[in-house]
Each structure stands twice: as C-alpha cells, then as structure tokens.
C-alpha cells in the first residue's frame, strides 16, 4: 500500500510540476479555416530583404505521422469525412476514465484528458508524404536488430509484472515468469526510453528527465525571429520542454564531427522564398525513432502566404531506414496578442517527479527487504495504460501525451 | 615687390596646404568614426545582432572582491584569520584551477548592495551554503540579469518588433518585445521584457520574476518583486555598454545599478555550442537516490562524496615523499 501511495505521489508531483506548462497543449481553434489574424500581416520580406518567416506558428490540425492501416491508399479526407471523424473522436472518453482505484492502471492515468491536446482532423491522412504510402520506410537489418535488442530488454524488465501475467499488449512478445536476471544488468544500448526499472535517472525516459524535445518536431508552437544571417526559432513543445534554436544562414562548414549535439548543427541558405536547413552532428545520446548520431535532416521552410508556412523535412539515416523519408506540414500563423505569452521551458526546474519516483523505488526495495511489501520487480511503472477511453484513429494511442 | 609677392604666395600655399590637410584629416576622421560606429538596422537603429559575452568576474560576485583560493573554502591553520582560508573538499582536487579571480566589481557608486537587514542575513547564509542553494548548480534557468554576464556566449537576434536572446547556459532564451505585449499570467525565471529605443539606447523594462534566481555565485539574490531597467548602448562596433537598474523594495532599501561592457565574439566561425546542463546536473541532483551509488555514498544520514586521488605512477614529487 505504501509503495502504491509513493507511486501516486510521484506521479501527482510530476503532474503538479508540469501542470503550469501544459496549457500550451490547448486546442487553438475548432474551426476549419486558418486562424484569422486581425492586424495586417508583415510584408513578405524583412526590411533587409530576406523572406519573412516571423511570427508564432503551429499546425492546428491532427494528422497522423504515418498513414493508419485503415486509410491505406487514401491520401486526403473529404470535409465530410473530417467532420465525421471529429464527431466520433469527440465521443472518446480518452483518459478521463477512472479505473479501479489504487491499481497501476488507474495511477498511470493520472494525466487525464485535461492535459491532452486534441486538435481537429487535418486534411491529409499522414504527415509522411514520401514514400507515397505515407509510411515510414522499413528499418535496415541492423536497425531492426537494434530495435529487437531494446525490445527484448524492455520485455525482460516487465517479466514478473501483472502486465505480462495478464498478457497486456505492452507485454506482447514477452513472457510471464520470475524476475529476469537482466534486471541486474546494464541495458545493452544507451537507454532513452522508459524501462520498468528505477535504479537511477537513466532508467527513465528522456521526457521524464526533461530532455524530451528532439528534432524533427511536429507539435507545439514556434516563435520565429529573424535578423540578417540568423533565424531564431523558440520551440514551445512537450511539457515545458521547449528549446531555443538559432539557425545560422551561412556557407560555413558544419561543426567538426567530434562535436555532437542533441539538436544537431544547422546550416541554412535561402533559395528563392525557401529557407533550406541542413542538420547534422546529432548526438548518440538521443534517439529519434532509433536514429542517433547518423541522423541527417534537410528542412525546407517556405512562406506560402500571410498565414501559412509550409514546413517539410527529409529524414535520413542509412543505418536506420532503407531510404530517406519526407514529412510535410502546414504551419498556421497565430495571433500575437492571444499567444503573446512566453511559456518558459521549466520542466527541469519543477521536476520533483523524477527524484520522487526514484525515492519511491528505494522505499519499495526497503519494504520488500523487510518482508513488508511486494518485490518491486513485480510492479509495472513503465506502461502507459492510457487507452481505456477508446482509440483515436488519428493519434492511435488515445492521445497519450508522452 | 617680387619678394613680397613671393612671400604672400608662400603664405597662401602654406595656408592652402594646411587647410587641405585639415580637410583631409577631417574626412579621414569622419570615415574612421563611421567605420567605428555601431552597425545599424535598415531603419537606422543600432544593430546588436551577433554573439556577445561579458568578460568579467561578475558571475562570481557583483561586488569588488579579492581573489580567493577556492570556490568553497574552509578555515586554514589560522582559524582566526579569515584571509587565511584554504580550499575546501568540494574543490580541493582541482588545485589552482578552482580558485576565484578577483574583481573590481560592477556596482556603480559606492559598490554596495543596499540590502535590508533581514535580506543581508539571507545573503550571508546563501554564500555560506553556495553548493546547496545556488540555482546555477542545479542548471535552473539563470534569470535576468545573471544570464547576461555568465561566462558563456549568448546570441542576439534583432528584428524590428522582437529581439530574441539565446543563451548558451541551459539553452535559456528571452524575447524582448518592442511592440506592446502584456505580461504573462504567471511569474517566470527569465522575466517579461518590454523594450523601447531612447536614441541609440535600447531600454528594456523587465518584470514578472518568480524570485527564484540569484545574481551571482556569492549568494546575492532578489525577490519576486524584482524590477529591472536595462540599457544597451553601443560604445564601439564590437562593444555594448550594459547597465541595469535593480529595484526590489522587498529586498533592497533603494534602487542600485550595475554596469559593464558586453563584447562581441570576433572569431569568424563563432556559434553557440550546446551546454546541456540538465544532463550535467543529474548526478549532482539525483545521485543520492540511485539504487547503487555511483559518485555519492551514504553513511547513515550523511551523504558523502569522496575526493580520492591516486598517486600518478612516475610522479617524482610523490615518489620522493614515499622514500
């Protein structure tokens, strides 16, 4: 009971710590038309003659990254289909459903629907535009092997839990049995995700460690400010995990390959109205869908009209995918006064959840040693059970925030 | 007559030469002044865009101070003499690299920070508990003005209505609104900045602080009532005079000012390099709640960080000592 309580406290603390930051996840507009901007838009050029990308931008629509199987062969929705989808989606309880009090499933739902961003259905059935099937390309054999290694280790951490005993989807491919000896071993990879162990911060996800933001990023808001030779993008993304990016518009070569950065190294040039950004030098410490230091992005930011930027990014890592793939997204200009507030990225400053989670785990271990509690290995603190309220066809996972 | 004419002509020639030289000098000077003047935006404002860094010791202590042997010190063999302290355990292993450089300070006027008596006591405690209390060590957003003079470069991206500042430390950022912008509904670490031009000076009013920041590593602090007026004035194409009036009636008896130059980083390939300090501070913040202790260890209720050094093989000094 005590351990369960500690778990609840830990989750509640994380909720409180980040609650102030989650307001950015609100739905900006329920309408279909781009937000109207009452004040006159800026000129399409900056006073120094470069294309003007400045302002606050977001993609106000919900579009799946990959085309869901049920929409195979279909590139765009009709307006009627979007309306029908939104009507169906509005009926989903999502995480507002309380489950049996005191169970892991109930605790895992501590972030209820208030914290979720539910945006109206977009026009396209996938953000991925290339390959044409709207699906992320197949993993290379070596990436598939890496993914399998990670998955096996993750499943081993769950082996003694109810999740595996009850054959929950989270244990798919795993088995139920006594605690795995692998619990005492280091993961055979540099962990960035959430595993069912709490030995130290490295066992928790980058999001729980307030380092969840990555490039490429398709959510949240961006404030773009330009000066001659520089484009600054303040990303307000994740749970107060936004970050500041300065893109040099320069012909200078990339940083030496010995310098690896979480957000890579950006080099941009203007081509007509398009800002083309080449991003390399990513860090092995972070993983974008399995791609680490070999990740290479080619972004294109184009101001289509006063209210629209087309953002496209070609994502490549020959050690991860069998071919490059491209995502395209329309960012809609947001009203300045209504979005004037700078939501500072202060997840880390309020991160009482992470140490409390670790403290809770230490307390559970002590209780177990004294015969006063269950083996912590039998508890599941990694699975997101947030699907109970029904599945959203456009987010797949019921709109989980992680 | 001929002589007189010659004399006059000579005088005229000399005069013309002098005037000509004078004009030439004037032209040269004004060209030089133009060249040395600040970069300007298309609308004629000073253009602060670029990568800058303070080059002083204010991040250690805003006030004048002499050098000391360590960021953390303890009484030496003369416990009665405060000037005879020695480096304490947390920094001892770093030798002379862990000292604190002296400084003339950056506070205008008498160099004092006019704390209220109760605030002065807190400042003293802060200094004595630096490692436990300074938000910098935890990689918290540094706040303003502290972010402006930390020992890392920062970048100004100056547009017409907004000026963005990107800081190396903690990937912190601030937006200075030159157009009307109401403040946030909640307090912040980095403040809410609204700027306007007074001639060539950018004047920025900063409010909406949460009171969790410090000014420096000496424990100088403020409350959530902090109100800053910053002034950025070009003094050279590659230098800005940065002045801040600090007002916080909860903490100080009167407003006070700091001033310092900010220097342009002139390396042709300069760019901000990530300083991912959340990651750097994890062991510091959470190391004691690990299952297996890595750097820290527990003895009952005491948390210990051992400072152990192995004698390097072939080190003559230590080998002599062992003989």
Q: What are the pLDDT digits (tens) for A320-346?
A: 999 999 999 999 999 887 776 667 899
- Among B8-12, B35-39, B175-179, the range scoring the smallest mean pLDDT is B8-12
Which pLDDT score, from 0 to 100, does residue A99 have?
Answer: 74
Which pLDDT score, from 0 to 100, does residue B35 have?
Answer: 54
Please tell me whether residues B165 and B232 are part of one structural domain. Answer: yes
Residue B150 in any domain: the answer is yes
Which pLDDT score, from 0 to 100, does residue A340 have?
Answer: 66
Cα separation, A200 vs A202, in Å, equals: 5
What would the two tokens of residue A258 be? 């010995």
Per the structure, the complete domain to which residue B309 belongs is given by 287-322
Using one digit for the tens of pLDDT, what is the confidence trace for B53-92?
999 999 999 999 999 999 999 999 999 998 999 999 999 9
Residue B220 in any domain: the answer is yes
pLDDT for residue A354 is more than 70:
yes
Instruction: Say yes or no: B272 contacts chain A, CB-CB below 8 A.
Output: yes
In degrees, rounded to 5, the angle at the alpha carbon of residue B142 between the alpha carbons of residues B255 and B213 is: 50
Please tell me whether residues B109 and B199 are part of one structural domain. Answer: yes
pLDDT for residue B30 is more than 60:
no
Please tell me whether residues B247 and B308 are part of one structural domain. Answer: no
Please tell me whether residues B185 and B313 are part of one structural domain. Answer: no
What ipTM was assigned to the predicted interfaces of this complex?
Answer: 0.87
Which among A259, A261, A355 has the least Cβ separation from residue B289? A355
Residue B157 in any domain: the answer is yes
Please tell me whether residues B236 and B132 are part of one structural domain. Answer: yes
Residue B19 in any domain: the answer is no
Where does chain B have alpha helices with state H? 2-36, 89-92, 117-128, 130-133, 277-286, 316-322
Strand locations in chain B, DSSP E? 50-54, 73-74, 86-87, 154-158, 162-167, 173-177, 192-198, 201-207, 227-236, 239-247, 256-264, 296-299, 302-305
Which among B158, B274, B282 has the least Cβ separation from residue A201? B282
- d(CA B153, nearest CA chain A) in Å: 13
Among the candidates B223, B249, B264, a domain finishes at B264
Q: Which of A344, A351, A357, A381 to mutate to test the interface with B (most CBs of B within 10 A)?
A: A344
With an 8 Å Cβ cutoff, are B286 and A259 in contact?
no
Residue B2 in any domain: the answer is no
- d(CA B173, nearest CA chain A) in Å: 6
Which among A48, A246, A343 has the least Cβ separation from residue B155? A246
Please tell me whether residues B295 and B239 are part of one structural domain. Answer: no
Please tell me whether residues B255 and B291 are part of one structural domain. Answer: no
Residues of chain B with C-beta less than 8 angstroms from the C-beta of A279 = none
How sure is the predictor about B21, in pLDDT bands with cuts at 50, 70 and 90? very low
Instruction: Say yes or no: B137 contacts chain A, CB-CB below 8 A.
Output: no
Instruction: Say yes or no: B269 contacts chain A, CB-CB below 8 A.
Output: yes
Q: Which of B152, B166, B177 to mutate to test the interface with A (most CBs of A within 10 A)?
A: B166
Among the candidates B218, B249, B264, a domain finishes at B264
With an 8 Å Cβ cutoff, are B290 and A20 in contact?
no
b/e per residue A375-387 (b: at least 16 CB within 10 A): ebbebbbbbbbbb
What would the two tokens of residue B320 be? 């002599």
With an 8 Å Cβ cutoff, are B286 and A227 in contact?
no
The total number of structural domains in chain B stands at 2
Residue B78 in any domain: the answer is no
**Which of A263, A269, A262, A260 shows the shortest CA–CA distance to A233?**
A263
How sure is the predictor about B28, in pLDDT bands with cuts at 50, 70 and 90? very low
Q: Which of B142, B163, B171 to mutate to test the interface with A (most CBs of A within 10 A)?
A: B171
pLDDT for residue B136 is more than 90:
yes
With an 8 Å Cβ cutoff, are A362 and B172 in contact?
no
Residues of chain B with C-beta less than 8 angstroms from the C-beta of A362 = 289, 291
Using one digit for the tens of pLDDT, what is the confidence trace for B154-187?
999 999 999 999 999 999 999 999 998 888 878 9
Instruction: Say yes or no: B139 contacts chain A, CB-CB below 8 A.
Output: yes
Please tell me whether residues B234 and B295 are part of one structural domain. Answer: no
Please tell me whether residues B310 and B175 are part of one structural domain. Answer: no
Please tell me whether residues B191 and B108 are part of one structural domain. Answer: yes
Which among A225, A252, A358 has the least Cβ separation from residue B286? A358
Which pLDDT score, from 0 to 100, does residue A92 have?
Answer: 79
Report, as an integer, the average pLDDT of B296-313: 83
Report, as an integer, the average pLDDT of A3-19: 39
Which pLDDT score, from 0 to 100, does residue A10 have?
Answer: 40
Residue B85 in any domain: the answer is no
pLDDT for residue A25 is more than 70:
no
pTM, two decimals, is 0.87
Please tell me whether residues B106 and B187 are part of one structural domain. Answer: yes
Residue B7 in any domain: the answer is no
Residues of chain B with C-beta less than 8 angstroms from the C-beta of A285 = 279
Q: How many CB pairs under 8 A join A and B?
A: 127
- DSSP assignment string, A309-324: EEEEEEEE-TTTBSS-
Query: pLDDT averaged over chain A?
Result: 86
Chain B residue closest in CA terms to A199: B291
- Among A70-79, B26-35, B48-57, the range scoring the smallest mean pLDDT is B26-35
Residues with Cβ within 8 Å of A255's Cβ and at least 6 positions away in sequence, in order, are A261, A265, A281, B271, B273
Residues of chain B with C-beta less than 8 angstroms from the C-beta of A262 = 274, 276
Which pLDDT score, from 0 to 100, does residue A400 have?
Answer: 39
Residues with Cβ within 8 Å of A45's Cβ and at least 6 positions away in sequence, in order, are A51, A52
With an 8 Å Cβ cutoff, are A244 and B49 in contact?
no
Residue A268: its H or E element: strand A265-271
* Cis-peptide into B145, omega within 30 deg: yes
Please tell me whether residues B200 and B292 are part of one structural domain. Answer: no
- d(CA B217, nearest CA chain A) in Å: 18
Q: What are B166's strand-pairing partners?
A: B155, B173
Which pLDDT score, from 0 to 100, does residue A297 have?
Answer: 98
């Amino acid at each position: 009971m005590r351990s369960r309580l500690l778990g609840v406290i830990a989750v509640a603390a994380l909720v409180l710590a980040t609650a102030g930051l989650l307001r950015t996840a609100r739905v900006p507009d329920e309408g279909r038309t781009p937000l109207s901007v009452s004040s006159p838009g800026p000129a399409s050029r900056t006073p120094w003659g470069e294309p003007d990308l400045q302002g606050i931008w977001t993609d106000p629509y919900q579009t799946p990254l990959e085309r869901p199987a049920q929409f195979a062969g279909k590139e765009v929705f009709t307006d009627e289909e979007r309306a029908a989808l939104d009507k169906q989606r509005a009926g989903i309880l999502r995480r507002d459903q309380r489950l049996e009090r005191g169970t892991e499933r109930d605790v895992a739902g501590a972030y209820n629907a208030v914290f979720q961003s539910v945006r109206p259905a977009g026009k396209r059935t996938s953000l991925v535009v290339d390959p044409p099937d709207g699906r992320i390309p197949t993993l290379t054999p070596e990436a598939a092997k890496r993914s399998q290694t990670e998955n096996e280790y993750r499943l081993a951490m769950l082996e003694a839990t109810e999740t595996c005993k009850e054959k929950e989807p989270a244990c798919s491919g795993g088995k139920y049995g006594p605690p795995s000896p692998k619990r005492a071993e280091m993961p055979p990879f540099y962990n960035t995700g959430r595993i069912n162990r709490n030995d130290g911060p490295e066992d928790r996800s980058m999001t729980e460690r307030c380092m969840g933001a990555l490039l490429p990023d398709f959510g949240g808001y961006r404030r773009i400010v330009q000066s001659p030779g520089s484009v600054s993008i303040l990303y307000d993304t994740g749970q107060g995990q936004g970050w500041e990016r300065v893109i040099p518009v320069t012909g200078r070569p990339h940083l030496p390959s010995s310098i690896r950065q979480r957000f890579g190294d950006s080099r941009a040039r203007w081509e007509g109205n398009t800002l083309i950004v080449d991003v390399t030098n990513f860090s092995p410490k972070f993983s974008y869908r399995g791609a680490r230091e070999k990740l290479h992005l080619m972004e294109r930011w184009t101001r289509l009209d006063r209210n629209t930027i087309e953002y496209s990014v070609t994502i490549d890592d020959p050690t991860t995918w069998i071919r490059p793939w491209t995502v395209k997204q329309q960012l809609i200009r947001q009203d300045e006064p209504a979005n004037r507030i700078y939501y500072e990225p202060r997840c880390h400053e309020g991160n009482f959840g992470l140490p409390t989670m670790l403290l809770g785990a230490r307390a559970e271990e002590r209780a177990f040693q004294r015969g006063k509690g269950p083996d912590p290995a039998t508890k599941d603190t990694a699975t997101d059970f947030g699907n109970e309220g029904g599945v959203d066809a456009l987010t797949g996972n019921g709109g989980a925030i992680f | 007559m001929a002589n007189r004419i010659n004399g006059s002509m000579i005088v005229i020639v000399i005069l013309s030469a002098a005037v000509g030289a004078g004009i030439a000098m004037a032209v040269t000077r004004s060209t030089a002044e133009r060249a040395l003047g600040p970069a300007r935006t298309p609308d004629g404002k000073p253009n602060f865009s670029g990568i800058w860094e303070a080059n002083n010791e204010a991040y250690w202590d805003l006030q004048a101070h002499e050098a000391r042997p360590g960021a953390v010190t303890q009484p030496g063999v003369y416990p009665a003499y405060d000037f005879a302290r020695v480096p304490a355990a947390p920094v001892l292993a770093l030798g002379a690299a862990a000292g604190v450089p002296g400084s003339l300070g950056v506070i205008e006027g008498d160099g004092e920070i006019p704390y209220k008596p109760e605030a002065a006591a807190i400042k003293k405690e802060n200094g004595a508990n630096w490692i436990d209390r300074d938000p910098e060590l935890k990689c918290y957003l540094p706040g303003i003005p502290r972010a402006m003079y930390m020992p890392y470069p920062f970048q100004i991206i100056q547009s017409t209505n907004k000026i963005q500042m990107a800081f190396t430390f903690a990937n912190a950022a601030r937006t200075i609104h030159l157009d009307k912008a109401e403040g946030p509904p909640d307090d912040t670490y980095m403040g809410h900045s609204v700027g306007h031009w007074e001639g060539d000076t950018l004047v920025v009013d900063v409010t909406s602080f949460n009171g969790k920041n410090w000014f420096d590593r000496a424990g100088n602090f403020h409350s959530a009532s902090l109100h800053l007026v910053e002034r950025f004035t070009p003094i050279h194409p590659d230098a800005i005079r940065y002045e801040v009036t600090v007002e916080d009636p909860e903490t100080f008896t009167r407003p006070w000012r700091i001033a310092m130059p900010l220097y342009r980083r002139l390396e042709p390939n300069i760019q901000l390099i990530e300083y991912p300090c959340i990651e750097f501070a994890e062991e510091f913040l959470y190391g004691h709640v690990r299952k297996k202790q890595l750097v820290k260890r527990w003895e009952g209720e005491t948390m210990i960080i051992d400072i152990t050094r192995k004698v390097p093989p072939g080190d003559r000094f230590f080998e002599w000592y062992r003989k």
